[in-house]
């Protein structure tokens, strides 16, 4: 037993490495994981005390466990068998395909990443780019929902800034779980987004197996009280209008609803801007008739550097107002078992439109489209007051001095963008930017029943 054994140095190093890995995997790593897990649980417990809607255990579960739970769900298993039969492939091949879908969909939520990084960055970015204005009753709308219900924020989609704004504004209520499209599947952005609790969806996928895996994940999250945020228009609005709501994610939530268990409360959210960062890209896509938003990374970096230069030289100005208003919630339990999905979608769309905020650039855009004559400064306040819906706005009515200041600020922002110019007789719209005017005016067009745009008139004649 005490005989000396000679080994090559490389073999000795290999044995030591194997021993170290074995020790770490069996003794060190579990202890370290347990230590950090306990610290995380205590931190989440403290965090939940200040949140209106605490983070549910489902959201904090290990990603591996969630994937296993999803792919072994009875409905997913049935879909796997059906997929194998219809496509004439072995069931283990269909099972692995379902596993790939689950790995793609299921997020790896980190409370630290969300609240220590995501929420803070969202707040900084939102307030750095815009004057953020909120509805007077936003907090009350969320607090009015049953504390045990699952809250689903249903939002119109004007800009990719929507994610940032609502994350910032809802940070005091809970951690939101977003459905994001293929644009976010770029490394390392995908890792960050998954750690924020978002889940990826393939908007163009028509496979039954994929849809079943996605549906079951959404239903599991809803059943377990995960606060969610969805954009049921199916993408950014390319013409500024609020589009009809698509049924995809809404149908998954409704189909999985059990009136004997947890209620589901939809909170309509209306978002509008004085300036949409992607406005010209969206207008170009609308003219082409597609949704390819090709933006060069070089262009984005140049714009960021330009804004940074303005900030350093103290010439930086925000992009106007970004307004977010929550509408009256809709409870699935209150609707009863005889509700229809079409009726729910119509109700949610109406409630979003009913609380749609009216920033000054969209309102001025509408006024300029209604006349070819210059608008004198002396008439602007009167025209804006007359055009502003009486129950509109995210703040109490503005006094005359503040109203004039806000109008002038919006006009000068439009002037800097080449939308208007000031002449002796007043402000004049640049005809070359008519599409941009219509894009912003469309965002509030539904608030005026008598509105008929040139495109509407053309359709009516045909």
Q: What confidence tier does 47 reach under pLDDT thresholds 50, 70, 90?
A: low
Taking the alpha carbons of 63, 159, 452, 348 in that order, is the dihedral positive or negative?
positive
Q: What residue has token string 């209604």? A: 370
In sequence order, which ranges of 72-133 are alpha helices (DSSP H)?
A: 74-87, 91-105, 111-112, 119-129
**Predicted pLDDT at 113:** 74
CATH topology of domain 360-449: Arc Repressor Mutant, subunit A (1.10.10)
By the 10 Å C-beta count (0-12 exposed, 13-18 middle, 19+ buried), 265 is classed as: buried
What does the pLDDT look like over 88-114, one tens digit per residue? 999 999 999 999 999 988 888 777 777
Would you say residue 212 has pLDDT above 90?
yes
What average pLDDT is seen over the chain? 81
pTM over 0.75: yes
Q: How far apart are CA 245 and CA 155, in angstroms?
A: 10
Neighbours of 256 (CB within 10 A): 17
Nearest to 386 by CA among 401, 403, 374: 403
What does the pLDDT look like over 364-407, one tens digit per residue? 999 999 888 888 888 888 888 888 876 654 555 666 778 888 89
**Predicted pLDDT at 27:** 56
Q: Percent of the chain having pLDDT more than 70?
A: 79
Q: In the predicted model, what is the mean pLDDT of residues 12-24?
A: 73
Q: Which element (helix H / strand E) includes 306?
A: helix 297-312
Bridge-partner residues for 178, per DSSP? 229
Taking the alpha carbons of 343, 348, 350, 351 in that order, is the dihedral positive or negative?
positive
Q: Rounded to 5 degrees, what are φ and ψ at 149?
A: -80, 160
**Predicted pLDDT at 361:** 94
Half-sphere exposure of residue 188: CA atoms within 13 angstroms, side-chain side? 1
What does the pLDDT look like over 275-294, one tens digit per residue? 998 898 899 989 888 777 66
CATH architecture of 48-277+320-357: 3-Layer(aba) Sandwich (3.40)
Tokens representing 45 are 């417990």
- How many helices and strands (H and E) does the chain possess? 22, 10
Q: How far apart are CA 431 and CA 441, in angstroms?
A: 15
Bridge-partner residues for 152, per DSSP? 228, 266
Q: Cis peptide leading into 376, omega within 30 of 0?
A: no
Would you say residue 310 has pLDDT above 70?
yes
DSSP 326-363: E---EEHHHH-TT--HHHHHHHHHHHHHHT----HHHH
Q: What confidence tier does 219 reach under pLDDT thresholds 50, 70, 90?
A: very high
Neighbours of 85 (CB within 10 A): 11
Tokens representing 209 are 């197996």
What does the pLDDT look like over 314-357, one tens digit per residue? 777 888 899 999 999 999 988 876 667 888 899 999 999 989 99
Q: How far apart are CA 61 and CA 65, in angstroms?
A: 7
Neighbours of 120 (CB within 10 A): 13
**Predicted pLDDT at 101:** 92
């Amino acid at each position: 037993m005490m005989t000396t054994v000679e080994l090559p140095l490389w073999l000795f190093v290999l044995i030591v490495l194997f021993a170290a890995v074995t020790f770490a995997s069996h003794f060190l790593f579990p202890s370290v994981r347990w230590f950090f897990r306990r610290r995380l649980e205590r931190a989440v417990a403290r965090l939940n005390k200040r949140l209106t809607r605490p983070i549910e255990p489902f959201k904090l579960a290990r990603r591996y466990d969630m994937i296993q739970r999803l792919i072994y769900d009875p409905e997913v298993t049935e879909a796997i068998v059906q997929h194998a039969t219809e496509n004439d492939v072995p069931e283990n091949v269909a099972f692995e395909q379902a596993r790939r879908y689950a790995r793609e969909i299921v997020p790896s939520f980190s409370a630290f990443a969300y609240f220590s990084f995501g929420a803070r960055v969202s707040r900084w970015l939102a307030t750095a780019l815009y004057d953020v204005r909120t509805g007077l009753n936003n907090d009350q709308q969320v607090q009015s929902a049953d504390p045990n219900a699952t809250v689903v924020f249903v939002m119109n989609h004007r800009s990719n800034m929507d994610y940032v704004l609502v994350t910032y504004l809802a940070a005091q209520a809970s951690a939101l779980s977003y459905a994001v499209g293929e644009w976010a599947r770029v490394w390392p952005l995908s890792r960050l987004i998954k750690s924020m609790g978002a889940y990826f969806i393939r908007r163009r996928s028509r496979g039954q197996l994929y849809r079943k895996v996605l549906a079951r994940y959404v239903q599991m999250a809803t059943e377990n009280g995960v606060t969610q945020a969805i954009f049921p228009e199916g993408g950014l609005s390319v013409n500024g209008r609020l589009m009809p709501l698509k049924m995809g994610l809404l149908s998954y939530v409704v189909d999985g609803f059990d009136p004997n268990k947890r209620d589901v409360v939809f909170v309509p959210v209306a978002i509008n801007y004085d300036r949409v960062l992607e406005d010209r890209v969206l207008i170009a896509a609308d003219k082409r008739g597609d949704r390819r938003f090709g933006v060069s990374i070089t262009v984005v970096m140049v714009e960021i550097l330009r804004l940074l230069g303005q900030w350093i030289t103290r010439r930086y100005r925000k992009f106007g107002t970004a307004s977010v208003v929550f509408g009256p919630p809709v409870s699935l339990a209150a609707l009863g078992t005889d509700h229809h999905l079409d009726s729910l979608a119509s109700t949610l769309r109406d409630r979003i439109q009913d609380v749609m905020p009216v920033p000054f650039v969209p309102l001025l855009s509408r006024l300029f489209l209604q006349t070819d004559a210059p608008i004198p400064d002396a008439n602007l306040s009167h025209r804006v007051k007359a055009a502003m819906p009486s129950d509109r706005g995210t703040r109490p009515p503005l006094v005359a001095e503040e109203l004039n200041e806000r109008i002038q600020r919006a006009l000068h922002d439009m002037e800097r963008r080449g939308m208007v110019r000031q002449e002796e007789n007043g402000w004049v719209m640049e005809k070359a930017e008519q599409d941009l005017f219509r894009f912003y005016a469309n965002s509030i067009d539904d608030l005026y029943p008598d509105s008929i745009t040139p495109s509407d008139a053309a359709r009516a004649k045909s």
